[in-house]
Amino acid sequence: MRLELMTSPAVAAYLAERQGIVIPVGATEQHGPDGLIGTDHLCAEVIARRFGQEHGVMVAPTLSYGMSQFHLGFAGTITLRPSTLTALVHDIIASLAATGFTRLYFLNGHGGNLAPVRCAIQEFYAARSLSGDATPAKVHCRLRSWWEMPSADALRKALYGDQEGYHVTPSEVAITMASHPDHITRFERPAPPQPGQDVLLHAGDNYYDAADYRARYPDGRVISHSALATREDGDRFIALAAEDLARDFALFCAAR
């Protein structure tokens, strides 16, 4: 069920039965010499839509832009500042809350979004707390990245091991091959250079600026052997991540 393809009365009818919604969040940024610019939002979107279709759960329009400032050294990247993304997500939370949704599940496809989206969630709760509102919030938010889904995570380790890497990962590339086969198919590319200790910089997407990123990772990949990706792998990732999402979403909606 896609929000943008429904009428307002149909959404109201849905809300009378259930109040959960999934919001895919991604980015529009370089994905090396072979990956699609939209990889991060396309991955979150296809998994969210698969789940929504199979379980009759509402899926919001995808947030296609994210916090990608460190990729601006490469053509095609469009970034939001961290504060812009925080403000955008905050307003989406407030809008969904105002119209009756109470379980807001952000399915993320880009590590750089994590801090700004977490900040947006806390901004929403801070406004309530600072107002002195004595009633516990009815609206609950959860943020998960698709690669954290346990079955998908186990598969990426099993298929690619250390060659999964951190950016333009074979798992995300595989998902786009499955979701957009007219736009990306299997390609040849040698394994990327190993940047050694520099990779430690990545934890939590702690990159510096765009010029620094480009100097460290000249072809855009961060130790990911993207050419290992296949469309068949992508089909498996989508199915597994959608099943994991179904379990996690059910727990999230049932929790008080």
Smaller CB separation from Ni ion, 38 or 52: 38
164 binds Ni ion (CB under 5 A): no
Site for Ni ion in 168-197 (CB under 5 A): 172
Strand partners, 31: 35
Tokens 């895919």, residue located: 24
Smaller CB separation from Ni ion, 45 or 172: 172
**Which of 28, 30, 39, 113 is close enough to bind Ni ion by CB under 5 A?**
39
Mapped onto helix, strand or coil, the DSSP state of residue 184 is coil
Interface mask toward Ni ion for 88-127; x: CB under 5 A: ----------------------------------------
**Minimum distance of Ni ion from residue 109's CB (angstroms):** 7
- Pick the stretch among 39-47, 117-125, 158-166, 173-181 that binds Ni ion (CB under 5 A): 39-47
40 binds Ni ion (CB under 5 A): yes
Tokens 């091991």, residue located: 161
Beta strands in the chain (DSSP E): 20-25, 58-59, 103-108, 140-145
Strand arrangement, sheet containing 103-108: 58-59, 20-25, 103-108, 140-145
Please give the size of the binding site for Ni ion, defined by CB under 5 A.
3
d(Cα 25, Cα 94) in Å, to the nearest integer? 16
- Pick the stretch among 4-12, 156-164, 167-175, 206-214 that binds Ni ion (CB under 5 A): 167-175
d(Cα 44, Cα 59) in Å, to the nearest integer? 11
Structure tokens at 170: 């074979």
Q: Which residues would be at the binding site for Ni ion (CB under 5 A)? A: 39-40, 172
